[in-house]
Structure formats: structure tokens, C-alpha cells
């Protein structure tokens, strides 16, 4: 009879990953975008789009979380380079949330477009920011317990994103446009701060160890 390994979950890794991924994916702030992209769909089709977009985002992030480091090494890109790219992108996302510029190509998708795959699943949900954050969390996780905690946080975050899109119509009905705008601006500041932190950590590593793949 085999011995069951002692696996201790890491609450800190779980909470840190959960908060970071949730802030990046922005379930509440994406409600208006989801409604705009699915404006030609009935409620049943919207439910399917919400589920498919969540599954696509989860698959993309999981793929990079498991084999991302090998892929980066294959193309000669360091994790710090991805971290800088993710940080810069988060700064741009944060700026757009703080200073909305109105309609964009994301909100003018045609009726026939499979918006659940693009742009909802990726890059809106599974963008470089979420991918980089998850990869860094996996890289920092030492042992089975912390690794499982990171994946559990990802599952919870994706569930929250799905529920946000699943009940987008009801959420938008209950929240005033000013409330959604306020939440988006606060999240924009948090997203920009995470981007700065990612940049600072990568630059510190480069200063200490040099730029290497």
C-alpha cells in the first residue's frame, strides 16, 4: 500500500495569484465589453459564449503555465523579458482603464464573428498580463502544495470571470454606468501598479544577474 504524500497548500500563493489574476482579467470591468460583443446574441448564446471564452482563456493560460518556460527558452526569451513585456502591457491596460477613449475594435465585432475565441478568450482574458502573472507564480512555487495552490487560484479566478459574463445582463442592470466606470478606474490604478512592480522586479534581476535567457 503506497504512502500518500503530505501536501500542504500555500494560502499566500493562493491569495496572491487569485488577486493578481482577478485584477488583470477584471470580471466587472469586462461586463460592458462582453455585452457589446454579444449584443446580437440571445441569452442562450451569451451563456455559451461566456463558457467558451472562459475555457479558451483557461486553456491558453494553463498551456503557458505548464510549458511556457520551455517555449521561451526555445525562442531565446528570458522570463524577465516576458515580465517586462507583461508589465508594459499592464501599464497600457491600466492607462486605458483610467482614461477610457470610447469604442474600439473590441466593441465593434460583427454578428458572425466568434467573439468567444477572439477577442474574449484571448487576448482580453488570456492576455500577456495574465499569462506572465501565472507563469511567475508557477516559477515561484516550490513544491506540490504551492503549485496546486496557484492552479486552484487560477480555477477560482476563471470561475469568477465566467460568472461575471454569465450574469452580465443582470449585473449591468443593477450597476449604474457611473459605478462600473468607478470600478474600472480603481482597477486601472491597481493594474498599472502591478505593471510597475513587474518592471521593477525584472530590472532588479537584470541589474544583479545581467540580461540572459
- pLDDT tens column, 16-48: 999 989 988 888 877 877 887 787 788 889 999
Structural domain contains residue 3: no
Helix ranges (DSSP H) in the chain: 11-25, 31-37, 43-75, 79-98, 128-140, 144-166, 168-174, 177-209
* pTM of the predicted structure, to 2 decimals: 0.71
Structural domain contains residue 4: no
> Looking at the 3D structure of the chain, how many domains does it have?
1
Structural domain contains residue 10: no
Question: Grid cell 482603464 — which residue?
Answer: 97
- Range of the structural domain that residue 71 is part of: 15-209
Distance between CA 115 and CA 113 in Å, rounded? 5
Structural domain contains residue 86: yes
- What confidence tens digit (pLDDT) does each residue in 66-123 have? 888 788 788 888 878 877 877 787 788 678 767 765 544 444 444 444 778 877 888 7
Structural domain contains residue 126: yes
Mean residue pLDDT of the chain comes to 80
Structural domain contains residue 89: yes
Model pLDDT, residue 57:
95
Task: Answer whether 171's CB lies under 8 Å from 28's CB.
Answer: yes
Structural domain contains residue 32: yes
Task: Answer whether 120's CB lies under 8 Å from 49's CB.
Answer: yes
Amino acid at each position: 500500500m503506497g504512502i500518500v504524500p503530505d501536501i500542504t497548500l500555500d494560502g499566500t500563493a493562493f491569495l496572491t495569484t487569485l488577486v493578481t489574476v482577478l485584477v488583470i482579467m477584471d470580471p466587472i470591468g469586462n461586463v460592458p465589453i462582453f455585452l457589446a460583443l454579444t449584443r446580437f446574441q440571445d441569452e442562450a448564446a451569451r451563456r455559451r459564449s461566456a463558457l467558451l471564452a472562459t475555457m479558451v482563456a483557461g486553456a491558453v493560460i494553463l498551456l503557458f503555465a505548464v510549458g511556457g518556460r520551455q517555449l521561451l527558452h526555445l525562442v531565446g526569451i528570458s522570463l524577465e523579458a516576458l515580465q517586462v513585456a507583461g508589465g508594459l502591457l499592464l501599464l497600457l491596460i491600466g492607462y486605458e482603464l483610467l482614461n477610457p477613449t470610447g469604442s474600439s475594435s473590441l466593441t465593434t465585432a460583427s454578428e458572425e464573428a466568434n467573439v468567444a475565441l477572439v477577442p474574449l478568450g484571448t487576448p482580453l482574458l488570456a492576455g500577456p498580463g495574465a499569462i506572465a502573472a501565472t507563469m511567475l507564480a508557477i516559477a515561484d512555487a516550490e513544491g506540490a502544495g504551492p503549485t496546486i495552490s496557484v492552479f486552484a487560484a487560477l480555477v477560482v479566478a476563471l470561475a469568477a470571470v465566467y460568472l461575471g459574463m454569465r450574469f452580465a445582463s443582470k449585473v449591468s442592470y443593477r450597476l449604474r454606468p457611473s459605478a462600473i466606470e468607478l470600478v474600472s478606474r480603481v482597477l486601472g490604478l491597481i493594474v498599472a501598479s502591478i505593471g510597475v512592480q513587474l518592471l521593477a522586479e525584472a530590472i532588479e534581476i537584470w541589474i544583479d544577474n545581467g540580461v540572459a535567457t
